[in-house]
Copies of this chain bind each other. A is one copy, B any other.
Amino acid sequence: MGQHVFDEAIALQRTQGDEQGSRWQGATHPAYWNMVGPFGGYSAALMLQAVLDDPLRQGTPVSLTLTYAAPIREGEFTVVTQRVSATRSTQHWSIQLLQGDAVVVNAIALLAVRRPVWRANEYVMPTVPAADAVPRHTRGPDSVAWVHRYAFHPVRGGFDALERRERHDDSTTEQWVRDEPPRALDFASLTSICDVFFPRIFLPRGGFVPAGTVSLTIHYHADEAALASAGSQHLLAVARGGNYSGGFFDQEGKIWAPDGTLLAATQQMVWYKE
């Protein structure tokens, strides 16, 4: 079996490195293309993967925040990973994606060694039918490339409402999602899945509005065992919008394994035009 297209798309070449960090070369991939640049989840994933592949790396991700300055142009880019601080159990990283001299994505990440301690969850996973009990959403051939890289089974809200151009005061959507073709979950693919939600503003406005993520934060709750247990199963992705004002709104999402384990929580600020 060949390499999964996701691994091909996020592959980076380490061209330089020392005890402060590394430089990496990569290139955009048509399979994860969005409208005017790559899918934002893809760029978040490859920037995290650069840290995970850095020889200095210890621990697993606790948080990642990216701000997107401009669309990544088709072609080559450089990623710079810099370990700015470290303790026995945590690492603080700065990560930048550059094209030419321009910083296109600016990011920081926190990695840490997790420990088996007291656990609890105040969030409640929605009670929903299993993925295979819900029809898969069919995408038209004219859809942007990246949406074909995921299998979506919408449970509540979402695509149908959009197609009917209904306005919804509550922008909550619940959907099962996994990589297409299936791929065992890792931190990179979980990162990408944290950005599969279309801009919430489409729902209260009842259709397409020019909008784009400007800031994305992911809080990781999964450890390696939780990723392994989720494997290539569908994950429940729940999203809702918040406050829309001044040309920016926030939206938040949660990614659940089918067994009820929370894998990640994510928040965005999204630019919108009108």
Contacts and interface: CB of A to CB of B under 8 A. Distances in A.
Contact of A243 (B67, B108, B262): B262
A102 B114 contact: no
A241 interface: yes
Contacts of A273: 117
Contacts of A85: 69-70, 102-104, 106
Q: Number of copies of this chain in the oligomer? A: 2
A90 B69 contact: yes
A160 interface: no
A242 interface: yes
A243 B221 contact: yes
B110 A108 contact: no
Interface string A240-253: 11111111101000
A107 interface: yes
Interface string A70-102: 100000000000001111001010101000001
Contact of A94 (B94, B114, B171): B94
A218 to B, nearest CB: 10
A217 interface: yes
B122 A267 contact: no
A171 B122 contact: yes
A215 interface: yes
Given A63-B269, A119-B244, A245-B119, A250 B274 contact: no
Given A103-B92, A122-B171, A240-B122, A87 B110 contact: no
11 contacts: A62-B214, A62-B269, A65-B217, A67-B108, A69-B84, A94-B94, A114-B248, A118-B244, A119-B245, A121-B242, A122-B170
Closest 9 CB pairs of A and B: A114-B246, A69-B85, A65-B65, A63-B215, A119-B245, A84-B103, A85-B103, A115-B247, A67-B110
